[in-house]
Amino acid sequence: MSAKILDGKWVRDQILAELKPRIERMKAAHRPPGLAVILVGHDPASEIYVRSKIKTCGDLGIYSEKVTPPETISTEDLLGIIEGLNQRNEIDGILVQAPLPKQIDKRSILLGVSPDKDVDGFHPLNVGCLVADIPAPRACTPAGILELLRRYEIPIAGKNAVVVGRSDIVGKPMALLLLHQHATVTICHSKTANLPGECRRADILVGAIGKPALLTRDFIKPGATVIDVGQNRGPDGKGLVGDVDPEAMKELSSAYTPVPGGVGPLTIAMLMSNTVQAAEQHLCCS
């Protein structure tokens, strides 16, 4: 039996369609949700991501604005911009697009965004809420993967889940979200002994280590669900290559996310979801 393709665009479209009536209710009662995106400098990939985020806001009826300070901005001045956005009632979410220039103290910027406007889910307060399984904004990519598994009715409880990668953005929050769904979770990384053997235990394998096609057929248990988070440039500098060998993934898995078109579309959908959720919280408490 051929493996099922887990279509991130299908899930994204469902999530966005469900957000529209919530946005319309807010607009009718008070105002639309508001998202501010801060883009420092002119990184070409970041400009593409931000353009897509702003376009999705427009399609949904979310108010958005792009703030574009120069690449030479200091940490202090960037914190001043963030604090100004923290104080504005019509802005529900603040996103600081990574990467930031070298002179910026990234930890200070992370702490500078008000936790109730942290739609990336990266503020330590929101990370603590994730650990304790308390409602708060969740990191967008892992939250999107959980939606994908839920909407495709892939069982998580009681399954062995292996997450390859320990980043604050994907690996760690993904492991916690799976743990809260009663999976038995292992986090692997570049220093893991016998990485192929650890991965072959997985009923759900999440590749989020950022190395093209690192996870070959030796890493995949036949019948596993494989989630490929990788967004690596191809060897010719064009196209996208995941962290999992695509042919091995197709042949051995029972279900998998393609690259592109799998996990990628979910990140912006969950950013929109976090923004709408933040707006609802702000409006109910104002």
- Coil, strand or helix: which one is 65? strand
Give the CATH number for residue 246: 3.40.50.720
Q: Does any domain span residue 245? A: yes
- The token pair at 126 is 């929101």
- Give CA–CA dist 62/91, Å, rounded: 10
**Domains of the chain: total:** 2
In terms of domains, do 149 and 235 share one?
Answer: yes
Confidence band, pLDDT 50/70/90 cuts, at residue 286: low
Across residues 103-115, what is the average pLDDT?
A: 97
Across residues 116-128, what is the average pLDDT?
A: 97
Confidence band, pLDDT 50/70/90 cuts, at residue 38: very high
Whether the per-residue pLDDT at 234 is higher than 70: the answer is yes
pLDDT value of position 166: 97
Residues in the chain: 286
Q: Which of 116, 120, 243, 245 is catalytic?
A: 120
- Any idea which residue has 């963030």 for tokens? 82
Residue 146: what are its φ and ψ, rounded to 5°?
-65, -40
pLDDT value of position 277: 98
Q: Does any domain span residue 259? A: yes
pLDDT in tens, 199-223: 999 999 999 999 999 999 999 999 9
Among 67, 99, 114, give the residue marking a domain's end: 114
- Any idea which residue has 């953005």 for tokens? 169
Whether the per-residue pLDDT at 1 is higher than 70: the answer is no
In terms of domains, do 152 and 95 share one?
Answer: no
Q: Does any domain span residue 286? A: no
**CA 61 to chain CA mean position, Å:** 21
Q: Does any domain span residue 154? A: yes
Q: Which residue has the higher pLDDT, 149 or 239?
A: 149
Q: Which domain holds residue 71?
A: 31-114
Q: Is 105 a catalytic residue?
A: no
In terms of domains, do 162 and 246 share one?
Answer: yes
In terms of domains, do 159 and 255 share one?
Answer: yes
Q: Does any domain span residue 65? A: yes
Q: Which residues have CB under 8 Å from 207's CB, separation 6+? A: 164, 165, 214, 215, 226, 227, 228, 229, 230, 242, 243, 244
Q: Does any domain span residue 42? A: yes
In terms of domains, do 71 and 178 share one?
Answer: no
- Give CA–CA dist 238/236, Å, rounded: 5
In terms of domains, do 208 and 162 share one?
Answer: yes
Whether the per-residue pLDDT at 255 is higher than 90: the answer is yes
- Give CA–CA dist 257/276, Å, rounded: 26
Among 99, 114, 129, give the residue marking a domain's end: 114
Please report, rounded to a whole number, the percentage of residues in the chain having pLDDT higher than 70: 99
Q: Is 87 a catalytic residue?
A: no
pLDDT, averaged across the chain: 96
Across residues 29-40, what is the average pLDDT?
A: 96
Considering only CA atoms, which of 74, 3, 90, 35 is closest in space to residue 275? 35
In terms of domains, do 207 and 253 share one?
Answer: yes
- Give CA–CA dist 36/66, Å, rounded: 6
Q: Which residues have CB under 8 Å from 70's CB, separation 6+? A: 40, 41
In terms of domains, do 74 and 164 share one?
Answer: no
In terms of domains, do 98 and 145 share one?
Answer: no
Among 114, 131, 149, give the residue marking a domain's end: 114
Across residues 263-280, what is the average pLDDT?
A: 97
Q: Does any domain span residue 18? A: no
Across residues 189-203, what is the average pLDDT?
A: 97
Q: Is 231 a catalytic residue?
A: no
Give the CATH number for residue 47: 3.40.50.10860
**CB contact at 8 A, 270 and 141:** yes
pLDDT value of position 61: 98
In terms of domains, do 106 and 43 share one?
Answer: yes
Across residues 10-15, what is the average pLDDT?
A: 98
Q: Which residue has the higher pLDDT, 147 or 44?
A: 147
Q: Does any domain span residue 1? A: no
pLDDT value of position 72: 97
Half-sphere exposure at residue 147, Cβ-oriented, CA atoms within 13 angstroms: 29
Which DSSP state fits 38?
E
